[in-house]
Amino acid sequence: MNAPRPLFGFHALTVRLKIAPETVRELHFDPTRRDARMRQFLERARAAGAKLVESDDAQLSRLARSPRHQGVVARADPLPQRHSIDELLEGVEAAGSQALLLVLDGVTDPHNLGACLRVADGAGAQAVIAPQKHAAGLNATVAKVASGAAETVPYFMVPNLARTLAELKERDIRVVGTSDDAPLSLYELDLTGPTALVLGAEGEGMRQLTRQSCDALVHIPMSGAVESLNVSVASAVCLYEALRQRRAAAGEAAEAPAEPTPPVAPA
């Protein structure tokens, strides 16, 4: 069995207690914090059967390896390994849904990764994909910033990103990359079909091979003085534009008049 890992912050721990309480070995909390948020959290933790341990701020910071623990730190077993990308996509197709994936190329900051996972969860993306090298992995900081989304959105780190993008295209998933110099605007592209949105690290963008693997390139229109957006903000713009288009298309389909029924000839 893998060694327990630190997990901290109200949002991350609340989600873990909800979806996998058995993985929480110990939950350390600051007994001097008696506000409503802490009281409500401890009630949920007791209801989930968590083992509660009183710890001071220094102990909590040591366990979390961060001072930004909000007064709650758990020693928790890692969640079971996620399904493969193929298995996940088979489930999406079986449910009659359109794939919406976020691909991150070269995003190494755990705060950015956590924010991207949170955005992906909010927009209904089924997974986030990144290369094994030159990318942030899941850790306690990512989990805290993700506010629970690290527990709900599968994060796949693949050995060869270009090959993975080629495999997505074989499944008829359109691979759309973002680039400041792309001639086409994000808002000019149809994102209602199965789509993987690819974003690179802020400043550097996508690697050349990743760029070449894309079916289309788009830019996010910028009207102010800054030239680009943080990758998590750009992810939000792209994913929510896809969500907007899909909801609009679904609404149009629902409101479309039914075909008239031909008259039945008298017997």
Residue 267 binned pLDDT confidence (cut-offs 50, 70, 90): very low
CATH number of 85-251: 3.40.1280.10
Q: Specify the pairing of strand 72-76 against strand 24-29.
A: antiparallel
Domain boundaries, the chain: 5-76, 85-251
The architecture that CATH gives domain 5-76 is: 2-Layer Sandwich (3.30)
Residue 253 binned pLDDT confidence (cut-offs 50, 70, 90): low
Q: Distances in Å between the alpha carbon of 226 and those of 183, 199, 221, 223?
A: 18, 18, 11, 8
Is the pLDDT reported for residue 261 higher than 60? Answer: no
Q: What is the pLDDT of residues 202-239, one digit of tens each?
A: 778 899 999 999 999 999 999 887 778 999 999 999 99
Structure tokens of 185? 């605007």
Share of the chain above pLDDT 90, in %: 70
Q: How far apart are CA 74 and CA 151, in angstroms?
A: 14
Q: What is the pLDDT of residues 136-168, one digit of tens each?
A: 999 888 988 998 888 889 999 999 999 999 999
pLDDT of residue 225: 79
Q: How far apart are CA 24 and CA 259, in angstroms?
A: 55
